[in-house]
Amino acid sequence: MTIKVGDKLPDATLMHMSKDGPAPVKTSDYFKGKTAVLFSVPGAFTPTCSMKHLPGFIEKAAEFKAKGVDELICIAVNDVFVMDAWGKSQSAQDRVTMLADGNGEFSRALGLGLDATKFGMGQRGQRFSLIVKDGVVKDVNVEAPGEFKVSTAEHALGQL
């Protein structure tokens, strides 16, 4: 079942690269008391993700903060080392938090997993964005296959 407005985020463990190395992030704790925009990309370093999706949120980070967003969070079904390297290559530091859903458990728990085996990419997460307040989903934006419209930074800004 796909997550919907009013649902609480599922409890899962994502990974973040801290100054001391890979560190677990429990969603039940992490989203408590904050307003966040969580967006998912099918894969780090892939074309649309690297040229449009992540850069859009990086460029508009100050606008999100001005609208009361505490944190912008990018997830992908990639390992924490790849997410860290991708974030650094895009200069995302201090603007977008890069979290790894390495095994795709969180994406599947959201009902937003993606079977990309026919493209040689295995199991991934769909392209989507969620606006989350205190762990509860306020907006759900899932892209149709091959599209890039409703999960953009501009669309999310318009929902705030």
List, by residue number, the catalytic residues: 49
In 2-159, where does DSSP find H-type helix?
Answer: 27-30, 47-48, 54-59, 61-66, 80-89, 105-109, 153-159
Distance CA 112, CA 114 (A): 7
Question: CB–CB of 44/78 below 8 Å?
Answer: yes
Nearest to 54 by CA among 66, 64, 39: 39
**Contact residues for 24 (Cβ-Cβ < 8 A; gap 6+):** 13, 14, 15, 16
